[in-house]
Amino acid sequence: MLLDMDLGVLPPSLIPSSQSVYVLVFYFVYLAVAGEILPGKVIRGVLLSDGSQLRYRCNGLLALTLLVAILGICAKLGIVSPLVVADRGLELLSATFIFCVLVTLALYVTGRNSSYKSSSLKPHVSGNLVHDWWFGIQLNPQFMSIDLKFFFVRAGMMGWLLINLSILAKSVQDGSLSQSMILYQIFCALYILDYFVHEEYMTSTWDIIAERLGFMLGWWLLHNKVELTVPAIVANCLVFVIGYMVFRGANKQKHIFKKNPKTPIWGKPPVVVGGKLLASGYWGIARHCNYLGDLMLALSFSLPCGISSPVPYFYPIYLLILLIWRERRDEVRCAEKYKEIWAEYLRLVPWRILPYVY
Ligand code: NDP
């Protein structure tokens, strides 16, 4: 009875049905099986403090292509509805939220009881329950030999595309497909495909968590018809293209530099501080140009929604706050790790994210 009362205050669309649980279970089981059995380049992760290195099988592009093909065939045969995500979006959102809370609680319990000594599984317990649950206890927790961090980033990126495709199918069915919807879909699809083409680069980032909030924007476009002028479309495309070049270029330059510090950057020998830090290319313009590119991309996903409402700008604003916070924490970590080398880098490259502004 108490349960009924509590659920009664929620909109019915937020209460997960058994179908939304089946969708999630199918999705996670598919990702786990595909990740394990499909072929892909095996990449060694960064060197951990105890000298160990994790291995990642980068078969995300194949897993995604196969999943979209399977779902496309099933939709054609009438086995699944392509609208299932668009119609059950809020339910799926709440089911995913409940799932995340359960998983992180399970990680908290297993982390606390872990007696592993390796860098990836050693427990880091502060004693504050909320802190330990929020930030996690183990660096690279695993379940049935699956690296959970890598797995959930994948789930988020692929889920984002599936949500968008379902919303696209709904707008085609409703006859409400607009230029804005097409732009939004193209930008997001390119960004997600690019992630999987370059999946190996993510294995060397400081933190590979990249949560996306795709559903909200697509849903907004489905319910608000936006007509864009030609200059607005051109400007939107430019923000996307420049954002992409900066984002991908900066991450690629760092990744290549870490593998071989002598590789030329923009055709010239790299400027290197203390033999460890790259100070040319994008890394000579600002200390986190890659964040700038990501922010421009986030903006380009929202711009197709026009500027009549702040609602679609939730994602770039959220990302701005997240990346500024992250950049500050990364600076503290790098200052501690690189000491005088970092101080020298700071002198050479004074800007954090956007030259002459921040
Ligand atoms: P970075 O890829 O910028 O990694 C920072 C690390 O790189 C530092 O800790 C340091 O690590 C190394 N480093 C910093 N400066 C230099 C330099 N000049 N030369 C050589 N090495 C350097 O951070 P993230 O992992 O946070 O971000 C990766 C990408 O993921 C970014 O493009 C970001 O925008 C994106 N991202 C997106 C999010 C989203 O929600 N959309 C969330 C988080 C990230 P070391 O000790 O190894 O030298």
Q: Is residue 184 classed exposed, middle or buried when 0-12, 13-18 and 19+ CB atoms within 10 A define those classes?
A: buried
Distances, alpha carbon 4 to alpha carbons 7, 12, 90, 91, in Å: 5, 12, 19, 17
Q: Confidence band (pLDDT; 50, 70, 90) for 48?
A: confident
For residue 280, what pLDDT is reported? 94
Q: How far is the CA of 322 from the centre of ligand 1 (A)?
A: 13
Give tens-digit pLDDT for 291-306: 999 999 999 999 988 8
Rounded Cα distance between 226 and 306, Å, is 7
Residue 288 CA: nearest ligand 1 atom is 3
The CA-CA-CA angle for residues 141, 23, 134, to 5°, reads 30
Distances, alpha carbon 45 to alpha carbons 140, 251, 332, 357, in Å: 11, 15, 23, 34
Give tens-digit pLDDT for 135-174: 888 888 888 888 888 898 899 889 999 999 999 999 999 8
The CA-CA-CA angle for residues 306, 315, 329, to 5°, reads 145
For residue 139, what pLDDT is reported? 84
Q: Are 304 and 180 in contact (CB under 8 A)?
A: yes
Q: Confidence band (pLDDT; 50, 70, 90) for 282?
A: very high
For residue 10, what pLDDT is reported? 58
Q: Confidence band (pLDDT; 50, 70, 90) for 120?
A: confident
Contacts (Cβ under 8 Å, ≥6 apart) of 158: 31, 60, 63, 64, 67, 192
Cβ–ligand 1 contact at 253 (below 6 Å):
no
Residue 298 CA: nearest ligand 1 atom is 41
Please give the structure tokens belonging to residue 3: 């349960």
Cβ–ligand 1 contact at 352 (below 6 Å):
no
For residue 1, what pLDDT is reported? 31
Q: Confidence band (pLDDT; 50, 70, 90) for 228?
A: confident
Locus of tokens 């695993």: 142
Cβ–ligand 1 contact at 170 (below 6 Å):
no
Q: Confidence band (pLDDT; 50, 70, 90) for 9?
A: low
Mean pLDDT for the chain overall: 86
Q: Which residues pair with 105 in a beta bridge?
A: none
Cβ–ligand 1 contact at 54 (below 6 Å):
no
Cβ–ligand 1 contact at 137 (below 6 Å):
no
pLDDT of 223 strictly over 80: no
pTM above 0.85, yes or no: no
Cβ–ligand 1 contact at 278 (below 6 Å):
yes
Rounded Cα distance between 302 and 253, Å, is 27
Cβ–ligand 1 contact at 285 (below 6 Å):
no
For residue 26, what pLDDT is reported? 93
Instruction: Give the residue, by CA position, lying nearest to ligand 1 atom 41.
Output: 210
pLDDT of 215 strictly over 50: no
